[in-house]
Chains A and B, each alone.
Chain A
C-alpha cells in the first residue's frame, strides 16, 4: 500500500491536512533556566506536499520537528502547549506506546549528520530492517530481501554485497542514502528531513536532494524539509515557513516568498546569500545576533536587529497575517496565502534594496 492509497483510508476528513500543528510551545527547563525554544508555532502540511522550514541555527526548526515526533530530550524538553494533529489524532496527548506505532510507519525522519546517525556496531542490514522489525512480524529472509530492494532504490550499487558492511565502511553520501532507505522502508506518509544535506559535500548534496524528491514523489509522501540553506528550499519545496527565535515570521508559497519577501528577516536572509545571476549586488549581513532565548519573549523577536523597526515592535509581537489583507487565508496547497508577522513590512522596492527607503517618522 503506498502512502497515497493509505491516505484514501485515513481518518482525516476530505480536504483536511495530513499534519496540523497549532500554537506549539516547547520549553527546555533545567533547574535554574528556561529556554523558550518554540513559542506558538502553527502550520499545516497537506498530503504529498513538500514544505520548507527555514531559519538560522537555534531558531527552533529541529526542536519543532522533534516535538512533532515526541522525541524531545527528556526530562528537560517539554511540549507546554498546543496540538500536533496527525491524521486526526493529537500526538501531544497520545500515550508513548501509540506514538511509537506511528514513528517510522507513518512519520519518519532523516537526520542531519549521517556520520553519527547510524549505529557503529550494527551492520547495514540490521539497521535497514530496524523499521520493518519495529512494526511488522517479518522473517529474516523477507527482511533481507526488502533491505536489498531498499538499498538499490536509493542507488547503492551491488546491494547484496553491502548488507554485511558496517557504517564506517560507507562514505557520508552513502550513509545518508542508507538513512533515507531506513526512513522510507515502510512508505511513511510524512517524512521530516532535518538538514539532510548540511553535512555532505556540495556535489553529493544535489544527488541526495534529488533522491529524496524522486522517492517521496513516487510514494506520495509529504515532506517537511528543515534547512538553513535557501538554495535548497528554492528547488525542493512548494511552500516555506520562515522561523526566527521560535516563531514563524513569514509563510507562503516558495515563489511568493522569493519574489516578494515581506518580513525584514526574510529580506535579510535573501540579501546575505550571494547571487549567481551576474548582478553585482553587495551582500548585506543581518546585524546583531539572535535573541537570548532564555528570556521570555516580549515584542517582535527580530526587533533589535530590524531596520524597519517601529516603536510598538519592542512591546507587541505581531501575529501572522495575510500580506494582501482581505483575502481568505489558505494554509496549504498551491493557493496558500502569503502571510507575514510584521507591523511595518518592507515594500517590494525596499525588499529589493535590502534597506528601508521611506522616511521613518515613527522609528524607535
Chain B
C-alpha cells in the first residue's frame, strides 16, 4: 500500500500521563480527599506501628485503679480492668484495618464475580443473579451480619465473612450497573464491529471501564466495614477473646460504665470516626477524580 496521506494540520501535543496519572493530579487538588488521605495514613501508621506507639501493653491489667480518669501517664484513662485505654485503641486499629481490608476483599471478589456474571451474560443469568442479590439487599446489612455471626459463632473470621457477605451484593449491583451501561457504549459497538468476541469485550473493554466505580465503592465500603465491625462488637458479637482489643467492644464496655467514667467512650469513638471519615472522604474524592465524564 502506498499512499500520501493528507498531512495533519493541527497536532495537539500533550504529555502522556495516562489514566491514573491524570486521576492522581485531580485528586491532589481535592481538599476533602487530602484530609481523607491524612486520616487514612494516620490510621494505617498507627495500626502498623502499634507496638512502638502504644505506651503500654494493651492487655496488661491493673496498671492503676479501675476507671482511672485521664492523666499525664494514661492519656485516655484506664478501663475497668485497669488496662491503658489509649494502648488498646492503638492496637484496635490493627484489628479494624485487618478485618476491613480482608472483608472488603472477600466481598469485592464475591460481588465482582456475581456482577460480572449478571452484567456480562445478561438474559436469564442476569435475572437469576440479580433477584438473589435483591433478596440479600432487602435484609438490612447489620441484621444479616448478626444472623451470620449468630449462625457461625463469634470470632474474627466469622465477623470478616459476615461483613464481606453484607457488602458483596452492593458490589454486584454496582458492577452490573456499569457493565450494562457499557454494553451500549459506542466503543463497545466499535469493538464488536472489528470482530472482538464476548470474552474480549468483557475483559478488555468493559471491565477496565467499570473498575473505577468498583474502586470508589471499595473505598467507601472500607468505611462501612469498620463501622459494621464496630457495630457487631458493640452489640456484643465481637471477637470473644478479651485479649483482642476491638473498638466496638471497647465502646460497649465504656457505655456500661458511662456514669462512672464517661471519658472512656471518647478514644474508641474518635478512632472509629476518624477512620470511617477518612475512607469516606477518599472514596468521594476518588469518585470525582476517576469519573471519565469529567475528563477532557
Contacts and interface: CB of A to CB of B under 8 A. Distances in A.
Interface of A: 2, 69, 71, 73, 100-105, 108-109, 111, 113, 116-122, 126, 130-131, 133-135, 152-157, 164-166, 168-171, 173-174, 177, 179, 182-183, 187, 203-204, 207, 210-211, 214-215, 218-219
A194 to B, nearest CB: 10
Interface in B159-215: 184-187, 189-197, 200, 204-205, 208-209, 211
B185 A116 contact: yes
A133 B201 CA distance: 12
A131 B6 contact: no
B16 interface: yes
Contact of A116 (B4, B186, B211): B186
Nearest to B196: A134
A203 B6 CA distance: 12
B19 A121 contact: yes
B131 interface: no
Given A103-B195, A131-B195, A157-B11, A118 B190 contact: yes
A130 B14 contact: no
Interface of B: 1-12, 14, 16, 18-19, 184-187, 189-197, 200, 204-205, 208-209, 211, 292, 295-296
A155 B11 CA distance: 11
A220 to B, nearest CB: 11
B14 A111 contact: no
B193 to A, nearest CB: 4
A103 B192 CA distance: 8
B5 A69 contact: no
Nearest to A165: B16
The residue among B12, B18, B191 with the most chain A CB atoms within 10 A of its own CB is B191
A71 B19 CA distance: 29
A339 to B, nearest CB: 30
Contacts of B195: 100-105, 131, 134-135
A193 B131 CA distance: 41
A127 B114 CA distance: 28
Contacts of B193: 69, 71, 103-104, 108-109, 111
Contacts of A103: 192-195
A289 to B, nearest CB: 27
Contact of A120 (B9, B12, B191, B295): B295
A207 B6 contact: yes
A174 B296 CA distance: 15
Contact of A111 (B19, B190, B296): B190
16 contacts: A102-B195, A104-B194, A105-B195, A111-B189, A119-B191, A119-B209, A120-B209, A120-B295, A121-B19, A134-B197, A135-B195, A155-B5, A164-B16, A182-B190, A204-B10, A214-B4
Given A117-B186, A122-B205, A215-B5, 16 more contacts: A104-B193, A104-B194, A109-B190, A113-B186, A117-B187, A118-B187, A119-B191, A119-B205, A120-B19, A120-B292, A121-B292, A134-B196, A152-B5, A173-B8, A182-B190, A187-B1
B31 to A, nearest CB: 25
A153 B8 contact: no
